[in-house]
Amino acid sequence: MQDPYPVPPFTIPAAAKVSVPGSKSITNRALILAALSEGSTLLENCLFSRDTDIMVQALVALGFEIEANVSAKNIRVRGCAGEIPNAKANIDIGNSGTSARFLTAMLAVRNRGEYQLDGDDAMRRRPIQKLADTLIALGCEIETTNGFFPIRIRPHGLSGASTTLDATESSQFVSALLIAAPLAQNDIEISLSNPTIRRGYIDLTLKMMQSFGIPADKLSSSESAYQVRSCSYIAPKSNYAIESDASAASYFIALPLATGGTIEIDGVTKNSMQGDIAFAQIAENAGATLEWTSRSLTISFDRANKRLGSLSDNYYAFSDTFMTGAAIAPLASQATLIERIEHTRHQECDRIAAMVDGLKRLGQHTHDKRASLEIAPAPLRPATIDTFEDHRIAMSFAILGCQDPFENGKAWIQIADPLCCRKTFPNYFDVLESAREQSLKASTNATR
């Protein structure tokens, strides 16, 4: 792929049907839960990407039997009933946050062993100490590198007790501990030092734990704590289907807002377990028309006769989509204020700073604080976007590039390091190009 990649703009309104891959968040959780279960699980509609490959390779290094069928989008995992086969392993976690946090807690349940986890330079800037402190309090030996990776884990099984967890840096700390908790020697109560954390992905984790055999009466929660009783994971009786990725869907929800027209997203439903489906409401508030069915979402926007409203909102609960909103904010008829996104400064990159950098290159007026970003629309200008090795920066600005502001059909946005999208959506630019080609074909057929 050309690097930087020139994004071909849509010269006519969108008219296409697309599919997005399975959810990364659900795929990686399902891989861990299946490995810890008694019995074999076939996972369907799996995401095959850099992040999920990291998780698969980590589980293989730990001795689990995994068979992947890329063409069928299936992965079979033979669970070991709460046991971790290999007592030693060196695991490369790349820049996969879910792999880093979930594996750290998972390894703590083993009685004896020695493991080292390390990642790339970006992962070495992502904190792990607060999760490590909680696991240490529950009986695990963990050595971090000044609070970061690489880390060394010498587990002795989780003792089970009341413990306190600071999850302000990432709700994945809570999800990681919840997944490990049923396998502790005794019941675990997790008190949150700060209850104002994102709950969407934690709720997703709890629902998935029940799908893998944890009875609902073994799990309880309040505003400030979670309780998990000691029990065992059991593989689902039927295959486990991974939902299509709501975060990935946000780009195609935004596409008609940039180009006008209509996009149907197959496999995305209103009753999704994923909190990021809330971006559809942001689009509707800005003027889009939504049509939900049991199998898809269709988004329409008439750019010729309608002005795009503000994309302002509190994005805290669905912050993986804030970059989608920020990237198309230059097309809005008024300023956009995106609030409560401070935690995104500690993800694949400082995402607020990365968006400010890209928007300023495009001639936009921005004002950012620690936890917010405001974009005031200004005349657009051509630019090359630095993605900072972050897939969501690349995919978000590509949607803006689909707009044709100079009405000449020429690419005006270039995306540096486009292959960073392999983290969660390996064929993203192919799907985007397919949508453009479908739209051109529909326009040609309509004029015949």
pLDDT digits (tens, 9 = 90+) for 288-324: 999 999 999 999 999 989 999 999 999 999 999 999 9
CA 298 to chain centre: 22
Q: Which of 320, 386, 390, 417 is catalytic?
A: 320
| pLDDT value, residue 445 | 84
Q: Are 229 and 218 in contact (CB under 8 A)?
A: yes
CATH architecture of 5-21+244-447: Alpha-beta prism (3.65)
pLDDT (0 to 100) of residue 390: 96
Structural contact between residues 35 and 77, judged by C-beta atoms closer than 8 angstroms: yes
The C-alpha atoms of residue 154 and residue 277 are separated, in whole angstroms, by 39
The amino acid occupying position 177 is L
Task: Indicate if 320 belongs to the active site.
Answer: yes
- Residue 153: closest CA among 185, 123, 110, 92: 110
Q: Which residues of 301-319 are buried (b: 16+ CB within 10 A; e: fewer)?
A: bebeeeebbbbbbebbbbb
What pLDDT is recorded for position 182?
96
Number of helices (H) and strands (E), helices first, in the chain?
12, 23
Contact of 376 with 364, CB cutoff 8 Å = yes
Gap between the Cα atoms of 320 and 97, Å rounded: 13
274: tokens are 């994923």
Q: What is the pLDDT of residue 60?
A: 98
Per-residue pLDDT at 168:
85
Residue holding tokens 């390779």? 57
- What distances in angstroms separate CA 179 from CA 85, 204, 222, 295, one per listed residue? 18, 11, 17, 30
User: Model pTM?
Assistant: 0.91
Is cis: bond before 150, omega within 30 of 0? yes
DSSP conformational letter for 347? S
pLDDT at residue number 401: 98
- Is residue 261 within 8 A of residue 238, CB to CB? The reply is no
Close Cβ partners of 429 (under 8 Å, ≥ 6 residues apart): 1, 5, 398, 418, 421
* Dihedral sign (CA 56, 96, 429, 278): positive
Residue the block writes with tokens 């996009």: 263
Q: Is 103 helix (H, G, I), strand (E, B) or coil?
A: helix
pLDDT tens figures, 171-210: 999 999 999 999 999 999 999 998 888 888 999 999 999 9
Give the separation between CA 289 and CA 268, rounded to whole angstroms.
16
pLDDT at 195: 84
Low-confidence ranges of the chain (pLDDT < 50): none
For the chain, where do the domains classified as CATH 3.65.10.10 start and end?
5-21+244-447, 24-228
Let me know: does 98 contact 123? Beta carbons within 8 Å.
no
Cα torsion 195, 200, 205, 207: sign: positive
Q: Residue 196: its pLDDT value, please?
A: 81
- Integer Rg of the chain from CA: 22
Architecture of domain 24-228: Alpha-beta prism (3.65)
For residue 160, the model assigns a pLDDT of 80
Amino acid 351: pLDDT: 97
Inter-axis angle of helices 200-211 and 24-36, nearest 10: 40
- For residue 446, the model assigns a pLDDT of 77
